[in-house]
Copies of this chain bind each other. A is one copy, B any other.
Amino acid sequence: MQLPTNVVNFDWGVMIMHENFVGLKEEKRDAIINAALQEFAAKGYDLASTNEIVRAAGISKGALFHYFSSKRELFFFLCDYVYEVVRREFYEQIGHCQGDLLTRYGRAARLKGNVYLRYPPLFGFVKRLAQEKSAEIAGELAKKLSHLTEAGYSHLLGNLDESLFRQDVPAGKIRDLIVWALENYGYRSMDLIQNQALEEIDMEALNADFDDYLAVLRKCFYKQ
């Protein structure tokens, strides 16, 4: 499987500071971003180690603190970066769908696959953000987090056409059950592929399998 070439051609204008970092070659930047995402996702803010990040990224300690003035600044840079990636490559395009829940999920899965190929630890990082309890960053994180979750809910669940749902059970409960099942499906897919090399991931097969489940959900939860 080849890397998507059109994903995340990033507009650095929105990101203030980090001048030293933005000039880096894309390859090196991504290595650092992924190493940091991975470490924060695995251990949370407090226990994440900058030593481990530089080791995994293949750079020196001095370089990291040349790009970012502190662990804290690196962390919040990642939050902003992730938000931009998700917003531009994900939510924005789902929003244009404006369809029913399952149609949106089908489209979302494709986009998610593309983002995953470039930033494998990104969704794990986002998942962990929601559970982050570090007191050191609690205040500022709460603001960033509300951004992310608001965007997520409004684009995935906002302005939803629920008229296609079967009418003999509450639409809200159908929506909940679908979201819960598919969220879990997503986590399990990530677990399955996280030990594979990117090239040997058969994204088409994954998407086809996902579509099968979508079809079942459509048959059972939608009007016939």
Mark A residues whose CB is within 8 Å of B.
Answer: 43, 47, 166, 168-170, 173-174, 176-178, 180-185, 188, 212-213, 216-217, 219-221
Contact = CB atoms under 8 A, between A and B. Distances in A.
B47 A169 contact: no
Contacts of A185: 180
By secondary structure, the A interface counts as helix
Nearest to A209: B173
Nearest to A180: B184
A177 B185 CA distance: 8
Contacts of A180: 180-182, 184-185, 188
Given A169-B219, A176-B213, 17 more contacts: A43-B43, A47-B47, A166-B220, A173-B213, A174-B216, A174-B220, A177-B213, A177-B216, A177-B217, A180-B180, A180-B181, A180-B182, A180-B185, A180-B188, A181-B184, A184-B184, A220-B220
